Amino acid sequence: MKEFFDNLKQIRESKGISLEEISKKCRLPLKYLQDIEAGKLENLPAGYDRIFLKRYLKEIKEDKEEVWRDFNLFFGTGPLQPGVPYSSDIPIKKPKPVVLEETADVSKSEVKPPGFLQKLLSKWNLEKFHRFFWIFITVLILGTVGFFAFQQYQFVKNNTPEIREISVSEYISEMQRQDSILTPQVTDTTGIKADSTSDFTVELRSLQRTWIREIRDQQDTVEYILSQGLKRKISARESVKLMMGRADGVQIWVNQDSLGVVGKPDEVVVSLVLNQKGIVEKRLKKPEPKKPTPVDSSQVTLSLPQPVQKDPGPAGDN
């Protein structure tokens, strides 16, 4: 029996085929292939000895009828048809060598026939089964992710509030209309200083009640209403940026130098940047008139003129 497997090993080595190559092609553990060439078929999984041997013989091009005939001489009768050497075809009960000294009665319960799963796996192509299984799992995962992504998209689409872009002048006009509610009102002359030694000062003197947004040194921002007749003095290191609801509402001084008003009554100050040298940037704009809201003709009630009744005059006139 050992000579049978030694011959197979010699044939494989003569063809320059390594067990590692067979293991990669057949996807069989290298240990099982080594057990086959060593004749230790009892180390193989029960019911798979002939399946693994058949794969081994195919790779070394020795899956022949005469090889299986020699194999059956050592391990009992089996299929002689080429291409059908599966363990499921082995008779349930193998003949036991006759021992003259004693006789043993082997019960049927000691020899277990191959189970349904073993028969099923022996007929299936395991490589195709694995491939289709992982394809199914991949499609299932992608479908689940796609479903939840679509649900998230629908939720965001249906719950995102409508955003309307407005111009800076519209924003300033809106703030002027709501200044008494949203913006604190300066009720006394105020002053604001920088954290360290300032380089210049800006003084605001209100001629009209005006909404102002003030950004000092590009970081300190404040909004307020400067009432008529009040003053506000600002000390800064680099710059002071102003937005004002009325271009003619405030007189401006920079380091005691009067700049006067920066615009006309019908203009708003979109951006006015000041430093110690004076005006760096000035942008004015006239507020855009609000578009009239279209009237729903279905809700308009038309009143028709009433007919004029003539005075019949005195009762006795004809």
Q: What is the DSSP string of 225-250?
A: EE-TT-EEEEEESS-EEEEES-TTSE
Summary mean pLDDT of the chain:
75
Q: Which two tokens stand for residue 234?
A: 């600002």
- For domain 2-92+117-123, the question of CATH label 1.10.260.40 is answered with yes
Cα 209 off chain centre by = 51
Residue 59 contacts by C-beta under 8 Å, 6 or more apart in sequence? Answer: 17, 21, 22, 25, 26
38-88 tens-digit pLDDT: 888 888 887 788 888 888 888 888 888 888 887 887 776 544 444 444 443
Higher pLDDT, 117 or 87: 117
What is the arithmetic mean of pLDDT over 286-314?
A: 57
pLDDT band at 101 (very low <50, low <70, confident <90, very high): very low
Higher pLDDT, 91 or 252: 252
What is the arithmetic mean of pLDDT over 164-187?
A: 64
pLDDT band at 169 (very low <50, low <70, confident <90, very high): low
Residue 288 contacts by C-beta under 8 Å, 6 or more apart in sequence? Answer: 167, 169, 170
- Indicate the pTM of the whole model: 0.38
Name the amino acid, one letter, at 4.
Answer: F
Residue 129 contacts by C-beta under 8 Å, 6 or more apart in sequence? Answer: none
Domain ranges of the chain: 2-92+117-123, 169-285
pLDDT (0 to 100) of residue 52: 86
